[in-house]
Structure 1
Amino acid sequence: MSTLFPHLKVVFPNGRSEIYRLEEEIDFNPVGYRVLVPLKSSQRGATAIVVKKFLAKPSEATPRIDSFPDRFPVINPVALEVLKNNLLEYLTTLGESVFKLIPTWADWYQETFAVAVEKDPQGLPSGVLKIFAKLKKRGRIEYEKLKKEFDPKILRLLEEHRLIKIETRWVAPKVEEEFFKPATTDMEEVLRRIKRARAQRKEEVLKVISLFEELGRPLERDELLRLGISSPTLRYMEEKGLLKRVTYSLPPFRGELLKSPRGVYSPINPPSRWELRNLPLEERIETLLRMGEWVISQGGDFLVLVPELELIEEFYPRLSEVFGDRAVVYAETLLQKEKIKNWFKSAEDYGKIFITTPRWLFAPLKNPLAVYVEDEGHPSYKMFQSPYFNLKRLAFEYAKLVGAKLIVSSEPPSVEQFLISKTFEVRSKETKPQRVLLEGKNPFEDGILIQYLRREGKHLILTPKKGYSNLYCQRCGVLLECPRCEVYLAYNFNFVECPVCGFKAEKTECPRCGEGTKSFGYGIERVKETVKSLIPEGDFTFSTHPPQRGEFDSVAVLFADSILSIPDFRKGEEFYRYLIKAQNRTKKGGLFLLHTLQSHHHAVVSLLKGDSSLFYLKELEFRKLLEFPPFSRLYLVAINLEEENEQLALKIFNRLKEALKFTSAQVEFSKAPTFRLREKYRYQILVKLPLKLEDRELQKISKVLRGLKISYRRARVIPNPRSLV
């Protein structure tokens, strides 16, 4: 009888899976572990993740595992089950999914190097001596690079005569990283320093500044290169004092590891499913601390998902102050060595609180007893790149599979959360300010708004649109548009800017006729200028978004209807979310001012009456009528072309419609709401499926949609898109 040996099934980033064998039994469950393996297709090795262990007869044709580089799994083994349940709907593979949800530093690779054995060879031709001079200077050189510079036959000859040797090594990630951040945010100063640069360089510099404004965090060099910024531009910006290199980390805590909670807060054993609705930030953090006391007293782990770095910087110092090194943070802005240390620290066998952004929800926690989802309606819970997972949904499934308590905060609940809110215990806090509706095109004209703002106290003024205004050409009768997009340019004092693609220019004349233009509409800068000119001494805070914390005697939302101009089925929900967040910044008994031309919109009616159910019932009625989520599965096929070519887009549509002819799918074709964007012409196909589908039909539809992705390079298939824009 043949002896059975342990074998492992592993997956790779490209979606492939392979079987490898172990030479001997191991004393741990390897599922979720990272392994280094030789590739069958080449002499190089690669990183893979173990997804299954089984016993089988050994075969020389089955390659061996090289090594396990870690003490702990790199991904929680339960995550693999969650992902398997979602592969079909999200048109992906287990390998692709796993590697998108673990950090990039985990993907090691194998490299072959040439090393000189004889340091100072004698009697060799000068051309060959150049090879040794290069190796002596560098120590070792990647063999593939050396072959491009020198004759491979000579290199093989040197290897045969043992003058050089070829070594294969695993290349680990860097442990030090530098970030770039702007050295100045004064746009006038930026324009002054690049005044003599050529047009293309100016354009790239302004794009870099725009990226920092949009993302609101330091950026790595590689990230900037991936976003289309050239190395010479980065060097130029450093020389001009526009960029500086920094190392960035969240506030460290240098205390000893705490063996038990301090008991600063009385523990809360939360319900199995708990929603914290419209609670102020400080109250949410205090509740989190009390739940943390309970989780750690039970010897378990607490997974805390926070959608923004700004919020991590609010939560983490408070957690570390109470729980010491039991509070572990993982964020993209940490140094690489801190990322690696903290990722594997999450797997240590003691209770801890692991706080991170949604993408890293599958860190290898040993014993998760509770999962907290902060601001569950935030767009960051939807991945914007393949495989486009809804990470909130994965978190819910993960909590269920591991038997953890599930706590969510909402401000206000998303439409999806409202539908399932009966399955949660809800703790809510209602803000009931004095609400005043301001109608009319311009709230500054009749003086009523200014009368309210003259009152004593702190005032928050919100306007969603960035910049000063749009620009209008009276001669042509049009608003100025971005030359790359069908989007109105925002005027910002000395330049105009596209709010979508980041295009910037100093000229404010009409490109059609060359005439001067005038301001049209109100952005936050024009609102600020107007209010300050009328009330110079007031205590005002101006913003395009409601802040995370703070209470104000009055909150004024002006020109918010611009949110409703977005051609998207979620615009009503986004509008309502904005209004509720703004209202919640009002002090008890304070004043909430809303300027709108859409006073009959269900979001406005619901807010003014103080009855949230009015909004949700009307919004659900609208979604059901048009068969949009949450009443259907939706796939967006986004076709982006270099030139306007409706014939090609229709060809893709007709092929898809024919392939889905005998299924329950509805297939609709149109130009994208913003047809031209970033110099691409955009068409879209919507595929709507019933929520309840037999597995066989879903498999057929999934196969067709995946085939479409492969056949047409310009077509992206996005499952359950957050937006159609």
Structure 2
Amino acid sequence: MEHLITPVSRSSQKLYAEVVINIPLQKVFHYSIPPHLCGTLVTGMRVRIPFGNKIIAGFCVGFTDTPFTDKTKDVLSIIDSSPLIDDVMLKITRWLSFHYYCGWGEAISAVVPPVVRSKKKERWNTFVRLKERTTSPVQDVLIQIKVRAPKQAKALEILLDHSAEINAKELIRISGCTMPGLRQLEKKGFVLIESRLQDTANTSRTIDQLQQHLTLTGDQQKAFDSICKKLLEPKPGVILLHGITGSGKTELYLQAITKMLEQARKAIYLVPEISLTPQTIQRLKARFCKVAVLHSSLLGTVHQSQWNDIREGKVDIVIGARSSIFAPLKNVGLIIIDEEHENTYKQENNPRYNARDIAILRATYENAMVIMGTATPSLESYQQAMNGNYEKIVLPRRIGERKLPPVDIVDMGEEVRKRRGFNIISQRLEYYMKQSLARNEQVILFLNRRGFAPYIHCKRCGFVLKCRRCDIPMTFHKKFNTVLCHYCHAETHPPESCPDCLASNINYRGFGTEKIEDEIRNKFPNYQIIRMDSDSMRVRDAHEKALNAFERGEFQILLGTQMIAKGLDFPNVTLVGVISADTILNLPDFRASERTFQLISQVAGRTGRGTKGGRVVVQSYNPRHYSITYAAAHDYEGFARKELEYRKQLGYPPFGNLTRIIIRGPQEANVKEKSAIIGDRLKEFAKINDNHLEILGPSPAPVTRINNLFRWHMLLKAQNLASIHKALQGNADVLKPSKSVQIMVDVDPYMML
């Protein structure tokens, strides 16, 4: 790999530029360097090149004096005045390209944000807010507006939900209303529209503003001493910090960063969710001067400003979500991966990398330490620690010797029989909610399913309303009176009668966070509830505002999906309710039990963090499943032993490696035919070359159609990942996409649907 990156010394011999472009091909193209560009072009710069009959941009990744062909075309121009990526990042992207079976150009495009590549110059933003004292009139005319201008009505409803101003681009994106439509609302006197200069991000604070570190407990001090000792080693390696919820992992991160800054080195801090970023940013900026933030929710010029500050050496610490691992930070000495078990570290679009693996690779190249912290380690990381590849440090107790909350498991099947009917909230959960709220304490309710009703069903003929473009039921969203596909985002009005038999007894089945919100408002009308899911948190900065309001006590009940399940610290929360522990457990995925255990454990950790203690109520129709019982007992080791037994028998990670191939296209016959061809070729290859490689499938994917594309899939399973790579490289010709069929290769997949 290194020979592609090593700089080539200039000589009298003619050199050719090695260029990669953003296409799904693992191929380097050679271009002649015109005399006027010699001495100017260096690796990491973008160049304009002729490619076919087009002029496109590519990245220069090296130089050679022996081109693939005698007929090379010239580089037309150099786009950048300085390299956008350095040698370390070139090595990382080259590995990423090979390991995840994608184009090198695709990998580099994932490293350099689009806003940086486009050199965005925007400096003005337009904001929209409700006009003062118009709340009641707006609500009065909403029904009339919905008939004439439904998108304007949707924009107004969003503004009513968010008292603060909203960026016009963001409002247009989530409401579908155009700028002329917003201007019409302004003319009618409902909103105010204002344009002003966009602020750039501030990455520094003065030293006298900074807070001091907290005093470590005995367990924390012991862990910190181990971290400091490992920091002094020539190759620090990886630490798995296994600390129960509330044990003080964050304080260890912050003090480890201080130790690293004392050595004149820098740090990257990864969090799994944008919703976690605000709290972590506040903690970091309270302790350190030069902190930059990178995540997808940043406005364009702010994102560009932060990236440039990092690249120019103005920043010591970078915090952000998955893609922050590619931050152009020099002299990195420490990489922190908070909640390392989270599947959000896995990118689901090309290139399908896992930030956890990239972090370890980057640390290897930069001789840095990786600290992976969690209360529920991924079984892959746990096994690595058991094998001695990672150093494991345990924090077994909460700060202040606070006890983990007791967990009550409610058998919802028994609940239905006793109460002679279905109730979303069990009697036990309702009882404990009343107690907590009466004491002026707060409650968190968790359900990993959004919307009002997951599907619409006809009692008479059994019809289920499905998306016309996807093979899944559409979810009813009561607030906007729409049914929505959560895969392709298709939207329509709910039917008044059954489309098949015309019966009027349409039934809304199941429940999501929106329906629970209605239920809780009816049961507890005197308390304020706030809902956090991807429907209610669509506006920029909505996460931060919602969590700040809950922390201030403006809301007594927080209801949400997995974005509230981890990392949040609210001492006044004394009760957590898991509405349905079976949502993930019933998915056709070998990680379903692990994810169920992790989610219950993590959401249970949101309570009992203050002096008042706490309690957890878990509702389930499968209350004796080991993932639920071990989570209720706060027994990670017991769960890990049992789950690892199953994984070992089946050869699943961490005892084997998987790669998923998805074949999709608009014509099911073509997809099925191509799947059979690929499957036959791979099985024949395995039979001749590698008896340890197993090919499962091809077969229809669990979700057989998304956005009018039929989907088939197959799994490649082997103990050694090299066997899978060998099979992919040896059959690259049959894995090429065509106009009629798309092919996606997902190495180390986290989604099986």
AA matched with 2:442: K
Distance 2:643 2:346 in 1: 21
Whether contact under 8 Å (1:5, 1:22) holds in the other structure is no
Does the CA-based 8 Å contact 2:16-2:30 persist in structure 1? no
- Paired position in structure 2 for 1:137: none
1:546-561 alignment runs, 5 A limit:
546-547=564-565, 548-549=567-568, 550-551=570-571, 552-561=573-582
The TM-score with structure 2 as length reference comes to 0.73
Secondary structure, counterpart of 2:603 in structure 1: helix
Cα distance in 2 for residues equivalent to 1:416 and 1:467:
33
1:433 deviates by 1.4
2:145 aligned residue: 193
Residues 137-172 of structure 1, C-alpha deviations (whole Å, 9 max, x = no match): xxxxxxxxxxxxxxxxxxxxxxxxxxxxxxxxxxx5
State which of 703, 727, 744 in structure 2 corresponds to 1:717. Answer: 744
> Which of the numbers 522, 544, 564 marks the counterpart of 2:585?
564
- Asked whether 1:463 is paired with 2:447, we answer yes
* 8 Å Cα contact 1:9-1:20 kept in structure 2: no
1:9 paired residue number? 18
Q: Residue 164 of structure 1 corresponds to which residue in structure 2?
A: none
- 1:654 matched residue in structure 2: 676
Q: In the alignment, is the contact (CA less than 8 A) between 1:177 and 1:247 conserved in 2?
A: yes
1:370–1:245 distance in 2 versus 1, CA, 3 Å: farther
In structure 1, the residue matched to 2:516 is: 527
Match of 1:174 in 2: 121
Change over 3 Å in CA distance of 1:557–1:443 after alignment to 2: farther
Q: Is the 8 A contact 2:463 2:500 kept in 1?
A: no
State whether residues 177 and 336 of structure 1, in contact with CA within 8 Å, keep that contact through their aligned partners in structure 2.
no
| Partner secondary structure for residue 735 of structure 2 | helix
Q: Please tell me whether the aligned partners of residues 574 and 614 of structure 2 are also in contact (alpha carbons under 8 angstroms).
A: yes
5 Å-filtered alignment, 1:65-464, equals 66-67=77-78, 69-71=80-82, 73-107=83-117, 173-176=120-123, 178=125, 193-197=145-149, 235-236=180-181, 239-240=184-185, 252-253=201-202, 264-265=212-213, 270=228, 271=230, 272=236, 273-278=238-243, 283-324=248-289, 326-349=290-313, 352-422=316-386, 423-429=390-396, 432-441=404-413, 443=415, 445=419, 447-456=427-436, 457-464=441-448
Shift, 1:583, TM fit? 0.7
AA in 2 matched with 1:710? P
Is the 1:496–1:508 Cα contact (8 Å) retained in structure 2? no
C-alpha distance in 2 between matches for 1:7 and 1:680: 42
Offset at residue 318 of structure 1 (A): 3.4
What is the distance in 1 between the residues matched to 2:674 and 2:256?
Answer: 52
Q: Which structure has the larger Rg?
A: 1
Contact 2:125 2:198 in 1 (8 A): no
Aligned equivalent of 2:552: none
CA distance in 1 between partners of 2:497 and 2:113 (Å): 47
1:440-499 C-alpha deviation (Å, 9 max, x unpaired): 337583733333333233222223332333544322245544444443343443444444
Describe the shift of the 1:302–1:29 C-alpha distance in structure 2 as closer, same or farther (beyond 3 A). farther
Contact 1:670–1:685, Cα closer than 8 Å, also in 2: yes
Per-residue deviation, residues 66-108 of structure 1 (Å, max 9, x unmatched): 447344x322421222232343332223222112221124446
Question: CA 1:356/1:607 → structure 2, altered by over 3 Å: closer, same or farther?
Answer: closer
Please say if residues 480 and 488 of structure 1, whose CA atoms lie closer than 8 Å, have aligned partners that are also in contact: yes
> What is the alpha-carbon distance in structure 1 between the residues aligned to residue 737 and residue 340 of structure 2?
33
Cα 1:21–1:486 shift into 2, 3 Å = closer
1:608–1:310 distance in 2 versus 1, CA, 3 Å: closer
Tell me how far 1:406 sits from its aligned partner.
0.3
- Call closer, same or farther: CA 1:511–1:701 in 2, change over 3 Å: same
What percentage of aligned pairs have identical amino acids?
19
Change in 2 beyond 3 A, CA 1:220/1:85: farther
CA distance in 2 between partners of 1:443 and 1:449 (Å):
12
2:457 touches 2:463 (CA, 8 Å); kept in 1? yes
Tell me, yes or no, if the aligned pair for 2:240 and 2:393 is still in contact at 8 Å: yes
Verify the 8 A CA contact 2:267 2:318 in the aligned structure 1.
yes
Contact 1:309 1:331 in 2 (8 A): yes
1:596 aligns with 2:600: no
1:218 touches 1:333 (CA, 8 Å); kept in 2?
A: no
Note the C-alpha offset of 1:590.
Answer: 1.8
Q: Is the Cα–Cα contact under 8 Å of residues 399 and 406 in structure 1 kept in the other structure?
A: yes
Quickly say closer, same or farther: Cα 1:453–1:356, change in 2 above 3 A.
closer
**Number of positions where the alignment pairs a residue of Structure 1 with one of Structure 2:** 639
Q: Where do 1:570-649 residues align within 5 Å?
A: 570-587=591-608, 589-643=613-667, 645=668, 647-649=669-671
TM-score normalised according to structure 1 size: 0.75
Residue 505 of structure 1 is aligned with which of 493, 500, 505?
Answer: 493
SS, match of residue 148 in structure 2: coil
Counterpart of 1:594 in structure 2: which amino acid? V
| Corresponding position of 1:130 | none
- Seen in structure 2, the aligned counterparts of structure 1 residues 341 and 531 have a Cα distance that, compared at 3 Å, is closer
Q: Structure 1, residues 582-610: CA drift from partner, whole Å, max 9, x if none?
A: 11012054211111111222211211333
Identify the residue that residue 557 of structure 2 maps to in structure 1.
Answer: 540
C-alpha distance in structure 1 between counterparts of 2:71 and 2:457, whole Å: 75
Tell me, in whole angstroms, the C-alpha distance in 2 between the residues paired with 1:347 and 1:521.
49
- Checking the alignment, whether the CA contact within 8 Å between 2:675 and 2:712 is kept in structure 1 is no
Change (3 A) 1:23 1:506: same
Change (3 A) 1:723 1:402: same
Secondary structure of the equivalent of 1:454?
Answer: helix
Query: Within 2, Cα distance between the matches of 1:320 and 1:639?
Result: 46
Query: What is the rounded CA distance, in whole Å, between the counterparts of 1:507 and 1:453 in structure 2?
Result: 36
Give, in whole Å, the separation in 1 of the partners of 2:583 and 2:408: 19
Amino acid at match of 2:148: R
2:42 matches 1:18: no
**Alpha carbons of 1:22 and 1:636: their partners in 2 closer, same or farther (altered >3 Å)?**
same
Opposite residue 438 of structure 1, the aligned amino acid is V
User: What is the identity, as a one-letter code, of the residue corresponding to 1:476?
Assistant: C
Residues 613-651 of structure 1 deviation map (CA, whole Å, 9 limit, x = unaligned): 2322333333344444334333333233435x3x43332
Q: For 1:722 and 1:611, how far apart are their aligned partners in 2?
A: 24
Q: Secondary structure at the match of 2:404?
A: coil
Task: Tell me if the contact between 2:659 and 2:716 (Cα under 8 Å) persists in the aligned partners.
Answer: yes
1:278 shift after superposition: 4.9
**Structure 2: distance between partners of 1:707 and 1:222:** 42
